[in-house]
């Protein structure tokens, strides 16, 4: 297998994922299932952009429409993703404050499974199989095929008495190229109680 590093980044799983998000655009399909009377369930469709910043961070910006029943509203959000090799390697997501600067930490991506080199087949990028299927971090039957690798990461965020538990799933095609990824949040607590499943496809 091969992993091509860009300037300033290594070839670890976190580094490769950060590189693959750099200056990219994605379609968004999100299903929001609420278990709280004050938060309506619905679906969200839109677009996300990862814009490189002067300090090396990536500004995540999404815009789209949220539909719940007969109501459709414009909605959007911003986060900042950062990657550091020292003092310890970390891929993190931050809330954004005025001036498009990092606010406080939202979560850090943890990679509990095998490293990227153990998931990608040796012949990745050499005519591997095609796949048009979507991935889902909420499913338990997702598996890679020849020329395809799947990497998952977990995340968590305490918010007062609420707990956010996240699962990322990245699909690598043709070596170290991410063409789809997903993010699922399972949130429980007195203020928020919902499941959010978001699927991203590269534009």
Tell me: the pLDDT tens digits for 11-45?
688 999 999 999 999 999 999 999 988 889 999 99
Tell me: the pLDDT tens digits for 131-184?
444 455 554 333 333 346 889 899 999 988 899 999 999 998 876 789 999 999
Return mean pLDDT, the chain: 82
Q: What is the 3-state secondary structure (H, E, C) of the chain?
A: CCCCCCCCCCCCHHHHHHHHHCCEEEEEEEEEEECCCCCCCEEEEEEEEEEECCCCCEEEEEEEEEEECCEEEEEEEEEEEEEECCCCCEEEEEEEECCCEEEEEEEECECCCCCHHHHCCCCCCCCCCCCCCCCCCCCCCCCCCCCEEEEEEEEEEEECCEEEEEEEEEEEECCCEEEEEEEEEEEECCCCCEEEEEEEEEC
Does the pLDDT value for residue 57 go beyond 60?
A: yes
Give the pLDDT score at 116: 57
Share of the chain above pLDDT 70, in %: 76
Tell me: the pLDDT tens digits for 86-106?
778 899 999 999 989 999 999
Give the pLDDT score at 185: 96
């Amino acid at each position: 297998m091969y992993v091509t590093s860009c300037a300033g980044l290594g070839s670890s799983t976190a580094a490769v994922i950060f590189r693959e998000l750099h200056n990219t655009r994605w379609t968004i399909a999100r299903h929001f299932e609420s278990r709280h009377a004050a938060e309506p369930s619905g679906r969200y469709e839109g677009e996300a952009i990862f814009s490189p910043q002067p300090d090396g961070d990536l500004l995540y910006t999404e815009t789209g429409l949220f539909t719940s029943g007969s109501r459709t509203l414009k909605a959007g959000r911003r986060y900042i993703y950062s990657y550091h090799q020292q003092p310890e390697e970390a891929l993190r997501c931050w809330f954004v404050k005025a001036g498009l600067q990092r606010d406080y930490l939202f979560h850090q991506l943890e990679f509990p499974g095998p490293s990227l080199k153990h998931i990608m087949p040796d012949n990745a990028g050499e005519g591997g199989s095609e796949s048009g299927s979507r991935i889902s971090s909420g499913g338990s039957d997702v598996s890679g095929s020849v020329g395809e690798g799947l990497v998952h990461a977990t995340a968590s965020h305490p918010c007062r008495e609420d707990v956010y538990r996240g699962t990322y799933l990245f699909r690598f095609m043709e070596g170290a190229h991410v063409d789809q990824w997903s993010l699922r949040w399972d949130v429980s607590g007195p203020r928020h109680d919902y499941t959010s499943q978001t699927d991203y496809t590269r534009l």
